Amino acid sequence: MATASTNGAPILVASNRGPVSYALDETTGELTAKRGGGGLVSGLSAIGPEAGAVWVCSALSEGDREAVRRGIVGAGPEAPPQKGGGGRRAGEAGVRMLDIDAATHADAYNGIANSVLWFVHHMLYQTPLEPVFDAEFRRQWASYETYNRAFAEALAEEAGEGAAVLVQDYHLVLVPRMLRELRPDLRIGHFSHTPWAPPEYFRMLPDDIAAKVLGGILGADRAAFLTQRWADAFTDCCHAVLGPGIPSGTRIGVHGLGADADFLRGRAHEADVDERMISLREQIGTAPDGSPRRSIVRVDRTELSKNIVRGLLAYGQLLEDEPSWRERVVHVALAYPSRQDLKVYRDYMDEVRRVAEAINSRYGTADWTPVVLHLKDDFARSLAAYRLADVALVNPIRDGMNLVAKEVPVVSDEGCALVLSREAGAYEELGEDAVVVNPYDIVGTARALHEALSLPVGERGERMKRLAAAATALPPTRWFLDQLHALDD
Ligand code: F6P
């Protein structure tokens, strides 16, 4: 059992990806820090710098590892606050970045977290041939345990007596139980940002591994989810794998993370976003009658679960079934690279490109490009697309929440119709005012796009107001504080 550090942190967060990353310039050896965004970063700002929180994360790149080696970012409990990009800064948590052996991290992150647990929860396997839980899987699982143990040990070292520890996501499911064994005094929460698989799918995992995944999370005082649906699936899996009841008295919670309206509305009106709007408007162009063309916008990481290819196919179907939209609409698809170490993600990106080009060569004319596809990550362009969208297409196969569905209504300039998959977590809160689709149904999605494009402007505006209200019901700061307070109970 580890002992509490004498002036240890009262609040800790643990996640694979931290709030800061470093790029190493090979020629000059200079390190540049980049600060990340997202719900957790905004949420943590609610407690302020005086709270003395510590965020434990993993070094992900060579730049991160170099930053740890140079002591720019905290590597241990004794590491002092640092200036110059990393470490402790006013208004932020201290960061402890773990330099876990690169091969171990790759096995844990690419091999287990992203290729097994992500696939299980999003139900992505092509089951006639996969998954295959062989000796290589067992080897990678051992690395996943090592990686989880490194987090548990770091948290045990950093935490003050009775501290609250919020462990994030499928990368770190074993941490709560490991940490509980090291430090029984801590209050531990685990939060799943993904969907949770139903028992019949979850039980594809070997029985002992399924029990370890659940048992790991059940080491926490509280296990929390983005929607009731995923929380129920988790308890169903516990009953199916471990027997009736939730052993160990772990409480189950639901916190539906909302959009960060204040940040988004401010950021969306900065000059770089205005510039991107001008250039997107040029790419969308005008219809033969001189009126501006309509736009169907999507913004995603090129992630298998986001269903970008079927979205494109549905758009092609719309042009086929409703030829009156030809030359009058453009599909703006912003599909940013993700998890490019995995071949299946690289292949998926190629397929997105191929289908977009096929639609353009089938329907395009001298002055109309039906699909405008951007593959380079650009946050300002995403916000510009949100502002000008007539229709937002959010059609994931399965998604923990999907914040794009919540952000568009908040930022939209003139009201935008939302086509939303019933398999996105956001459907629970936004379903009533969206045009809802079965993400596998191409013809149905094409019909939904037509309906959304045809919504009278007044109705579109009314729906958008209600969508924006629902989307901002639980801002990131309250989402974070609610979880902290729930751990006190
Ligand atoms: O949805 C789960 C999640 O961990 C998100 O919190 C995050 O946006 C996404 O996956 C990012 O994944 P990665 O760190 O692999 O890019």
Q: Is residue 300 lining ligand 1, measured as CB closer than 6 Å?
A: no
In terms of Cα–Cα distance, which of 404, 395, 423 is closest to 467? 404
Q: Is residue 339 lining ligand 1, measured as CB closer than 6 Å?
A: yes
**Three-state DSSP state, 381:** helix
Give me the amino acid identity at 81. P
pLDDT: is 45 or 147 the higher one?
Answer: 147
Pocket probe mutation, ligand 1, options 13, 15, 16, 17, max atoms within 8 Å of Cβ: 17
The DSSP H or E segment spanning 153 is helix 135-158
Residues 311 and 213 in one domain: no
Q: Which atom number of ligand 1 is nearest to the Cα of residue 15?
A: 4
Residues 460 and 482 in one domain: no
In terms of Cα–Cα distance, which of 136, 135, 131 is closest to 201? 131
Is residue 4 included in any domain, yes or no? no
Edge-to-edge strand list for the sheet holding 159-168? 94-98, 54-58, 9-14, 159-168, 187-191, 222-225, 251-254
DSSP at 407: H
Residues 238 and 352 in one domain: no
Pocket probe mutation, ligand 1, options 193, 255, 301, 379, max atoms within 8 Å of Cβ: 193
In terms of Cα–Cα distance, which of 427, 411, 429 is closest to 419? 427
Count up the domains in the chain and report the number: 2
Residues 227 and 268 in one domain: no
In terms of Cα–Cα distance, which of 401, 394, 404 is closest to 445? 394
Tens digit of each residue's pLDDT (9 = 90 or more) over 194-205 = 999 999 999 999
Residues 160 and 296 in one domain: no
Contact (Cβ atoms closer than 8 angstroms) between residue 179 and residue 156: yes
Distance CA 253, CA 234 (A): 11
Tens digit of each residue's pLDDT (9 = 90 or more) over 80-110 = 444 333 334 333 579 999 999 999 999 999 9
Residues 63 and 211 in one domain: yes
Using the mean position of ligand 1's atoms as its centre, give its distance from the Cα of residue 15 in Å.
Answer: 10
In terms of Cα–Cα distance, which of 222, 213, 58, 17 is closest to 150? 58
Residues 349 and 296 in one domain: yes
Distance CA 54, CA 166 (A): 11
Residues 322 and 234 in one domain: no
Q: What is the CATH number of the domain that holds 149?
A: 3.40.50.2000
Is residue 311 included in any domain, yes or no? yes
Nearest CA to ligand 1 atom 3: 193
How large is the average pLDDT for residues 21-30?
A: 94
Residues 222 and 311 in one domain: no
**CA 169: distance to chain centroid?**
10
How large is the average pLDDT for residues 56-76?
A: 88
Residues 218 and 69 in one domain: yes
* b/e sequence 88-98, b meaning 16+ C-beta within 10 Å: bbeebbbbbbb
| pTM, rounded to two decimals | 0.94
Tens digit of each residue's pLDDT (9 = 90 or more) over 465-482 = 999 999 999 999 999 999
In terms of Cα–Cα distance, which of 194, 146, 191 is closest to 165? 191
Residues 185 and 315 in one domain: no
Q: Which structural domain, as residue segments, surrounds residue 280? A: 261-471
CB atoms inside a 10 Å sphere around CB 451: 13
